[in-house]
Amino acid sequence: MIKNDLYLKALRGETVERPPVWMMRQAGRYLPEFIALRDQYDFFTRCQTPELAAEITVQPIRRFPLDAAILFSDILVVPQAMGIDFKMKESVGPWLDNPIRTAEQVQNIQVPDVNETLGYVFDAIELTLQKLDNAIPLIGFAGSPWTILCYCVEGKGSKSFDIAKSFCFQQSEAAHQLLQKITDTTIAYLKRKIEKGVSAVQIFDSWGGMLSPTDYQEFSWKYIKQIVDALSSHTHVVVFGKGCWFALEEMITSNVSALGVDWTITPELARTFTNHTMTLQGNFDPARLHSSPETIKKMVNEMINRFGKDRYIANLGHGILPNIPLENAEAFIKAVVDWKPNI
């Protein structure tokens, strides 16, 4: 039995005294203890070493009164498991020497046995759950098939992913074949995470906002929906599409437990688009954590009051930035924990 189940109550739509709080990328780069490990081990070594991944996952939990932990990993472990050899290049980020640009390359990609190729992630879950000792829930995650395709075809990060989009529009059949292979691998991967004990899973569609609403339906949402449909009877599924506010009305017709929203939509509009029936997560601008702790507290209180305390999970609208002062991260978390309704 998880001692603090506030996050799970919010996912179930139950009445709560205050919203739960966690931060995307909370296990990571803004923490001095994370930086110490980063200086010793390269990025994918940290992901692929269960002891390191578990340690990094619980680092923020030791510091802050968070209501959920999220497993330290990366969305690119899925294409790596499929034989797509991503590296993390210094000052560049994700890098693929041979991007996927042809139908023949797509045909040669295999849907792997995740137990063989991603066993280190499942081992990290076991170690993390031991460290958490049922204090709070553990969240597992994966990237959306579209977001993974963006990196696979572009070969690196991009501001617009024009090469990836052109691939989809010019070689549509190959694009859909690649998306389906990523989807099948992701379903197997997340199912195994659930079996190993995570309490919920989140799908990150970081680049969904690059697509028009029509193209989003074809190249992103229908694959996310496959994942949701496959997993929703097993656990809570949260979908976060950055820049995808236009799809919220469609998303609520699925079996998701919650939808993440970024800072480009107001709480009121997000509630309207989701018929006031959906648990929402977000949407504090990560850059706003550069404000003073006093300002952060005031803005967090306003954010909660506008979303409402029920069916709401306080979070950032994207991952925490690496240069955020610890006291400002703490101010954000503490503002949620200390929140009281206006009487």
- Which segments are annotated as binding site for substrate? 25-29, 44, 74, 151, 206, 318
Q: Which residues make up each annotated binding site? A: 25-29, 44, 74, 151, 206, 318
How far apart CA 316 and CA 283 sit, in angstroms, is 5
- Write b or e for each residue in 160-175: b if 16 or more Cβ atoms lie within 10 A of its Cβ, otherwise e: ebeebbebbeebeebb
151 included as an active-site residue = yes
How far apart CA 343 and CA 341 sit, in angstroms, is 6
| For residue 4, cis peptide bond before it (omega within 30 degrees of 0) | no
Strands 138-143 and 69-70: parallel
How far apart CA 102 and CA 109 sit, in angstroms, is 11
Please pick, among 18, 30, 46, 151, the residue that the annotation labels catalytic. 151
Residue 170 neighbours by CB under 8 Å, 6+ apart:
none
Please pick, among 12, 29, 63, 306, the residue that the annotation labels catalytic. 29
133 included as an active-site residue = no
**Pick from 14, 32, 1, 4: which is nearest to 312 by CA?**
14
Please pick, among 5, 67, 74, 184, the residue that the annotation labels catalytic. 74
46 included as an active-site residue = no
Residue recorded with tokens 């193209």: 215
How far apart CA 140 and CA 149 sit, in angstroms, is 20
Give the active site residues. 25, 29, 38, 74, 151
